[in-house]
Chain A
Amino acid sequence: MNTTAQDQSVARRRSKGTAAVLVQFLGSMNLAITLLVVVCIASVIGTVLQQNQPYPDYLLKFGPYWFQVFEQLGLYDVYSAGWYLFILAFLVVSTSVCLTRNSPGMLREMNKFREHQQERSLRAFSNRREWTSALQMAEVEQLAARTFQRHGYRYRGKNHGEARLLAGMAGRSNRLGYIFTHLSIVVICVGGLIDGNLLLKFREWTGDLVVETRNIPVSQIDTSSRLPVTRAAFRGNVNIPEGRSAGVVFLNLKDGYVVQDLPFRLHVEEFRVEHYDTGEPSSFESDVVLTAPELDEPIHQTIRVNHPLIYDGYAIYQASFGDGGSQLALTAWPLTGEDRRPFELDGEVLQSQPLEINGREYQLELEDFQPMNVRPIPEAVTRRDVRNVGPSFTYRLRSPTGEAREYENYMLPVEVEGRQFFLSGVRGSPADDFRYLHLPADERGRPDTFMRFYTLLSNPDELRAASERGAQQTMSDFGLEDSQLVPQVAQTARELVRRLMEEDFPSVMAYLEASMDERQVPSERREVLMTFSRLTLERTLWEAYQEARDGTDVRTVSDLDEQGQQFFRDALAALSAMDQYAAPVFLQLRDFQHRQSTGLMIARAPGQNIVYLGFALLTIGIFLMFYVSHRRAWCWMRPLAGGGCQVLVAGANTRDPIGFQRRFQAMTDELDARLKAAEESARRKQD
């Protein structure tokens, strides 16, 4: 650009004022590249922070302060946050401006052959080649035209005085490529906008629409949280239990949802999980029946993953599944209070019910039921080494003060180190892992023996009886026949049992040491006393255990078989773990009736076809831009005074100089050969 041109453009810019400067700015390349990079960086945020999770989860994760800050920044739904959409919109505007500014020029360029090019300027091209030919100008033109044609050039001829110029151009659709590519960006974004939930957000913002956060039946939801049937886009979810139906979907919005009415009803007959031979799920499918007023016959169809049901612009997808209210038959084993007799109760998953344990009323919230649990076997080598450990259910127990702990119990005993245990997991918050209590299963595969044993030890009268029998025996083993001492020894034994149940065995021993220190027992008697106390404890436990086992008359631990001894040891271990379990009740699953629910996603996307049009434009555009090279070539012919003519071929492609050099070489080689051949045959004709 020379100085005058620069001055002119500055002057032009000034005269056009701020609007022009704005357009200049929006269409500038620097802005475009900056925006591309900024969108990249902004997009990362939403991938690092999981989006659209329940708000309490975020609160738990970030604490109240940062939770607020992040919420204000819209980080829980970055991609529809105002600032993010603003950047995107900026990019779209910038692309549109760029497009409107460049396309007219490009379209004109597509049809311009540049036949006004002068010899002098052609000589400045780096790709050029010259000949002095004996042929007539018309003959040369023919050869050049043929060569141009064969190399993909369309051309135009023009006389420049006595000289003649052939102006060729190839690959002009490359320019269309630019237009298609950039137009597609705009088209895709417009389509995406139509399908996005911007309108919903806007209505929520203006207060026209109220987000529902409570978990209440659809019939009780206020109309201010309901969207009537329209042609607008949405995307929502609904869980339908087997045998039930639904005519709405729930659209997640902020920390709650709104309800979208559907012009049809979906009834779910069955949900199935099919399995491979190896046990992995091979298919999730729902048999649904769709009824609508305008349908004479309901539509029966099976919806599977990757095989949605499309009806009248609504697409219905298999998205998830869950429990749909399975019926559970439970046995409750109270772990606190006076009356420890087990009792039976029934429950339904997803429901909550009161549960009274010795006068305290708890709330039992049954959360989930799993008919099978595939876990790696303990000695697993490969990922195939798994087993099904049977059904499990999870529940929450809420104390009268409102605190809740969550439990996960397995129905069947699970094998751990060759022994069978009932597992019950407990945790204080969803963020923690479950910690499992191992209750040994008796030879009939039930928790009864252990539970009775535990109950006995917690019952003052029965414990007293057991401890007295234990004390008596120990004393007689030690040759002490003083029955006066029995109550005292028994009481120590009870104290030890209490400690064992509240703490663990080492702390029982520590307690004994400490109490002997206190009484200043001389060291030579200590050992005997320790042994005596420990034996009393063991005997007491043993007596209680005997009782729990229905008094089968086995005299001592060593009379039991290995299995029985092991059970006793496991029972003692479970006993001291009970304290940490700290639950008022142990719930045992006896029986169940499984009912599933299917999670369907239902969507309307009227912008989809616009987006797909954009996709087509983009694909075509990119290939045109990359693989059709826009190139020009000229052939300048000037007659020479003594007959024949001077030939100059020049060519240019600014975007692909290296590739073009090769092409230019090939083309001029061909022209060279043609010229020589023609000269030769002319010469021979003369001869």
Chain B
Amino acid sequence: MSTTPESLTEHFDERGFFQRLSWFDWLWAGTFLLGTLYASYYFAPWMDRYEQGILYISYLTLVWVGWLWKPARMFSVVVAALTLFAIWQYPDLAAAERNFFLNYLLSSQSAIMWMCALFPAAMVVYFAGLAARSEYTQKVGSALTWTASAAGFIGLLVRWWESYLISPEIGRIPVTNLYEVFVLFAITTGLIYLYYEQRYRTRALGGFVGLIITASVVFLLWYHFDRQAHEIDPLIPALQSWWMKIHVPTNFVGYGAFAIAAMVGLAYLVQSRNPERWRQRGFPSAEAMDDIMYRTIALGFAFFTIATILGALWAAEAWGGYWSWDPKETWALIVWLNYAAWLHLRFTKGWRGAPMAWWAIVGLLVTTFAFLGVNIFLSGLHSYGEL
């Protein structure tokens, strides 16, 4: 043996979490801190103290995510830079048609359209890569998913700006109607998927997750062209609250995670019919898929719990009670209990495999009803019939 003790110590890293952060980590966090401080100062007239709080909590969340999951840093830089560029080019609404960049890339409509094109493209490419067993093609799929998520994210942020351009009194965060939350759903699902893709070192599931994102994109396009849902309407009084800013995004982390769980469940069922062949195509093992299913459901469950709690706190302020058995609330409870049953079956009864995959898929149907069906078919406080 000829190695020195110094080089041996490289095999293990004595440094703590913060020491292990690179200069780029710090530079990145610092830059965003400056941005946050500036926003906090610049937008102060439009924010109350809760909203200031939410701004700083969002910053901390971003840093935490970026430090734990490195690609998030570059993503945030690209999104922030392009959004700032768009805002800079966007002194008034008419600029959307005058300006080349806005018109073709960065106005919220263009960016969201790009997202709508790129997500389905990513799905096709992922499946093509799976069919051709081409590592490279699948990488292209990942790149497309990243780009699509960035486009959607920019679209929402620019839409936020646009709402203020219409009139400062109309300005509000773009998570207030079905159109906007569908974009949000596509982005959160895309990003959470990318995280697991990296963590489990497999791109084989991209096409399957792409199915659900594409479905939401199709709905979005229909909603846009058939219903003109992309127009920015002023907020009804019931929705004018800072709770909105945390309740809705938290919910959509939950929905996105549940959607991925269901799609992985689908992939599980597909591969279980001919495990050999799918393993050769680069599918993860059944155990690994089972594990992804559990992780995403756990993530979804945790966020969905928080979202429901936030909803209850908001309801206490807006409707006079933290729980009114309103259809939307009740369906949230149903979704929640359903996944609680799933988790118990897995952990205390040790169920695994196909039944759990089926249950995850049914769980998504239940979730979809809670998210869409309730708004469409049932009336209640959430449809704001009263005021």
Interface residues of A (CB under 8 A from B): 29, 32-33, 36-37, 39-40, 43-44, 46-48, 50-51, 78-79, 150, 192, 195, 235, 276-278, 280-284, 304-306, 308, 315, 317-321, 382-384, 601-603, 605, 608, 611-612, 615, 618-619, 622-623, 626-627, 655, 658-659, 669-670, 672-674, 676-677, 680-681, 684
| Docked-complex contact B345 and A33, CB < 8 angstroms | yes
Query: B170 an interface residue at 8 Å Cβ cutoff?
Result: yes
| Docked-complex contact A32 and B344, CB < 8 angstroms | yes
B351-387 toward A: CB 8 Å interface, digit per residue (1/0)?
A: 0000000000000000000000010001110000011
B308-342 toward A: CB 8 Å interface, digit per residue (1/0)?
A: 01001100111111110101001101100110110
| Docked-complex contact B378 and A618, CB < 8 angstroms | no
| Docked-complex contact A608 and B170, CB < 8 angstroms | no
Q: What is the CA–CA distance of A235 and B322 in the complex, to the nearest angstrom?
A: 11
| Docked-complex contact B9 and A673, CB < 8 angstroms | yes
Q: Closest approach, in angstroms, between the C-beta of B234 and any C-beta of chain A?
A: 4
Q: What is the CA–CA distance of A277 and B171 in the complex, to the nearest angstrom?
A: 13
Question: What is the chain A residue whose CB lies nearest that of B316?
Answer: A608
Q: Which of A29, A277, A317, A622 contacts B302 (CB 8 A)?
A: A622
| Docked-complex contact A623 and B302, CB < 8 angstroms | yes
Q: What is the CA–CA distance of A619 and B303 in the complex, to the nearest angstrom?
A: 9
| Docked-complex contact B325 and A305, CB < 8 angstroms | no
| Docked-complex contact A192 and B234, CB < 8 angstroms | no
| Docked-complex contact A47 and B322, CB < 8 angstroms | no
Which residues of chain B are within 8 angstroms of A601 by Cβ–Cβ distance? Answer: 319-320
| Docked-complex contact A669 and B331, CB < 8 angstroms | no
Query: B274 an interface residue at 8 Å Cβ cutoff?
Result: no
Question: What is the chain B residue whose CB lies nearest that of A673?
Answer: B11
Q: Which of A235, A321, A623, A677 contacts B321 (CB 8 A)?
A: A235
Which residues of chain A are within 8 angstroms of B301 by Cβ–Cβ distance? Answer: 622, 626
Q: What is the CA–CA distance of A422 and B238 in the complex, to the nearest angstrom?
A: 35
Question: What is the chain B residue whose CB lies nearest that of A185?
Answer: B340
13 A-B pairs whose Cβ atoms sit less than 8 Å apart in the complex: A29-B349, A36-B337, A47-B327, A47-B374, A277-B169, A306-B237, A306-B238, A320-B387, A618-B305, A658-B287, A670-B11, A677-B8, A680-B8
Q: What is the CA–CA distance of A626 and B323 in the complex, to the nearest angstrom?
A: 26
Question: What is the chain B residue whose CB lies nearest that of A91?
Answer: B337
Q: Closest approach, in angstroms, between the C-beta of A74 and any C-beta of chain B?
A: 13
Query: B92 an interface residue at 8 Å Cβ cutoff?
Result: no
Query: B12 an interface residue at 8 Å Cβ cutoff?
Result: yes
Which 9 A-B residue pairings sit nearest by Cβ, starting from the closest? A673-B11, A47-B327, A677-B8, A670-B12, A601-B320, A317-B320, A36-B341, A305-B237, A79-B325
Given known contacts A276-B234, A306-B317, A622-B305, A669 and B334 CB-to-CB distance under 8 angstroms = no
B157-194 toward A: CB 8 Å interface, digit per residue (1/0)?
A: 00000000001011000000000000000000000000
Query: B236 an interface residue at 8 Å Cβ cutoff?
Result: yes
| Docked-complex contact A47 and B331, CB < 8 angstroms | yes
Q: Which of A276, A618, A659 contacts B169 (CB 8 A)?
A: A276
| Docked-complex contact A305 and B387, CB < 8 angstroms | yes
Question: What is the chain A residue whose CB lies nearest that of B167?
Answer: A277
Q: Closest approach, in angstroms, between the C-beta of B284 and any C-beta of chain A?
A: 10
Interface residues of B (CB under 8 A from A): 1, 3-5, 8-9, 11-12, 14, 167, 169-170, 228, 231, 233-238, 240-241, 287-288, 291, 298-299, 301-302, 305-306, 309, 312-313, 316-323, 325, 327, 330-331, 333-334, 337-338, 340-341, 344-345, 347-349, 374, 378-380, 386-387
Q: Which of A37, A78, A276, A676 contacts B341 (CB 8 A)?
A: A37
Q: Closest approach, in angstroms, between the C-beta of B276 and any C-beta of chain A?
A: 21
Q: Which of B1, B309, B349 contacts A615 (CB 8 A)?
A: B309
Q: Closest approach, in angstroms, between the C-beta of A323 and any C-beta of chain B?
A: 15
Q: Closest approach, in angstroms, between the C-beta of B200 and any C-beta of chain A?
A: 9
| Docked-complex contact B3 and A281, CB < 8 angstroms | no
| Docked-complex contact B345 and A281, CB < 8 angstroms | no
Which residues of chain B are within 8 angstroms of A278 by Cβ–Cβ distance? Answer: 234
Other than the given A284-B387, A317-B319, A319-B319, 10 more pairs (CB < 8 A) read A37-B337, A282-B234, A304-B237, A306-B238, A306-B240, A306-B318, A317-B318, A615-B313, A669-B11, A681-B5
Q: Closest approach, in angstroms, between the C-beta of B102 and any C-beta of chain A?
A: 21
Q: What is the CA–CA distance of A626 and B304 in the complex, to the nearest angstrom?
A: 14
Question: What is the chain A residue whose CB lies nearest that of B292?
Answer: A658
Given known contacts A284-B387, A383-B228, A658-B288, A603 and B8 CB-to-CB distance under 8 angstroms = no
Q: What is the CA–CA distance of A670 and B10 in the complex, to the nearest angstrom?
A: 10
| Docked-complex contact B386 and A319, CB < 8 angstroms | yes
| Docked-complex contact B170 and A680, CB < 8 angstroms | no
Question: What is the chain A residue whose CB lies nearest that of B349?
Answer: A29
Which residues of chain A are within 8 angstroms of B235 by Cβ–Cβ distance? Answer: 282
Q: What is the CA–CA distance of A680 and B2 in the complex, to the nearest angstrom?
A: 9
Which residues of chain A are within 8 angstroms of B306 by Cβ–Cβ distance? Answer: 619
Q: Closest approach, in angstroms, between the C-beta of A636 and any C-beta of chain B?
A: 21
Given known contacts A29-B349, A235-B321, A677-B9, A40 and B338 CB-to-CB distance under 8 angstroms = yes
| Docked-complex contact A282 and B5, CB < 8 angstroms | no
Question: What is the chain A residue whose CB lies nearest that of B240?
Answer: A306
| Docked-complex contact A29 and B167, CB < 8 angstroms | no
Q: Which of A276, A382, A681 contacts B228 (CB 8 A)?
A: A382
Which residues of chain B are within 8 angstroms of A43 by Cβ–Cβ distance? Answer: 330, 333-334
Q: What is the CA–CA distance of A79 and B341 in the complex, to the nearest angstrom?
A: 21
Q: Closest approach, in angstroms, between the C-beta of B206 and any C-beta of chain A?
A: 20
| Docked-complex contact A33 and B341, CB < 8 angstroms | yes
Q: What is the CA–CA distance of A321 and B331 in the complex, to the nearest angstrom?
A: 28
Q: Closest approach, in angstroms, between the C-beta of B217 and any C-beta of chain A?
A: 22
Given known contacts A47-B378, A305-B238, A615 and B5 CB-to-CB distance under 8 angstroms = no
Which residues of chain A are within 8 angstroms of B318 by Cβ–Cβ distance? Answer: 305-306, 317
Which residues of chain A are within 8 angstroms of B322 by Cβ–Cβ distance? Answer: 605, 608, 611
Count chain A CB atoms within 10 A of each CB in B11, B302, B322, B331 and give the residue with the most: B322
Which residues of chain A are within 8 angstroms of B323 by Cβ–Cβ distance? Answer: 192
| Docked-complex contact B320 and A308, CB < 8 angstroms | yes
| Docked-complex contact B11 and A39, CB < 8 angstroms | no
| Docked-complex contact B341 and A283, CB < 8 angstroms | no
Question: What is the chain A residue whose CB lies nearest that of B304?
Answer: A622
Question: What is the chain A residue whose CB lies nearest that of B341?
Answer: A36
| Docked-complex contact A603 and B378, CB < 8 angstroms | no
Q: What is the CA–CA distance of A382 and B227 in the complex, to the nearest angstrom?
A: 8
Q: What is the CA–CA distance of A608 and B349 in the complex, to the nearest angstrom?
A: 35
Question: What is the chain B residue whose CB lies nearest that of A680?
Answer: B5
Which residues of chain B are within 8 angstroms of A319 by Cβ–Cβ distance? Answer: 319-320, 386-387
Count chain A CB atoms within 10 A of each CB in B234, B331, B333 and give the residue with the most: B234
Given known contacts A608-B322, A680-B1, A284 and B344 CB-to-CB distance under 8 angstroms = no
Given known contacts A47-B330, A276-B170, A382-B228, A282 and B237 CB-to-CB distance under 8 angstroms = yes
| Docked-complex contact A308 and B317, CB < 8 angstroms | yes
| Docked-complex contact A615 and B320, CB < 8 angstroms | no
Which residues of chain A are within 8 angstroms of B240 by Cβ–Cβ distance? Answer: 282-283, 305-306
Q: Which of B231, B237, B305, B386 contacts A382 (CB 8 A)?
A: B231
| Docked-complex contact A29 and B348, CB < 8 angstroms | yes
Q: Which of B14, B309, B317, B338 contacts A618 (CB 8 A)?
A: B309
Which residues of chain B are within 8 angstroms of A611 by Cβ–Cβ distance? Answer: 312, 322
Q: What is the CA–CA distance of A655 and B295 in the complex, to the nearest angstrom?
A: 12
Question: What is the chain B residue whose CB lies nearest that of A45?
Answer: B330
Q: What is the CA–CA distance of A281 and B234 in the complex, to the nearest angstrom?
A: 9
Q: Closest approach, in angstroms, between the C-beta of A336 and any C-beta of chain B?
A: 38
Q: Which of A47, A619, A684 contacts B305 (CB 8 A)?
A: A619
Which residues of chain B are within 8 angstroms of A605 by Cβ–Cβ distance? Answer: 316, 321-322
Q: Closest approach, in angstroms, between the C-beta of B330 and any C-beta of chain A?
A: 5
Q: What is the CA–CA distance of A655 and B343 in the complex, to the nearest angstrom?
A: 11
Which residues of chain B are within 8 angstroms of A680 by Cβ–Cβ distance? Answer: 1, 3-5, 8
Q: Closest approach, in angstroms, between the C-beta of A383 and any C-beta of chain B?
A: 6
Which residues of chain A are within 8 angstroms of B302 by Cβ–Cβ distance? Answer: 622-623, 626-627
Question: What is the chain B residue whose CB lies nearest that of A304?
Answer: B237
Q: Closest approach, in angstroms, between the C-beta of B291 and any C-beta of chain A?
A: 5
Q: Which of A315, A626, A658 contacts B320 (CB 8 A)?
A: A315
| Docked-complex contact A46 and B305, CB < 8 angstroms | no
Q: What is the CA–CA distance of A382 and B334 in the complex, to the nearest angstrom?
A: 37
Q: What is the CA–CA distance of A531 and B17 in the complex, to the nearest angstrom?
A: 102
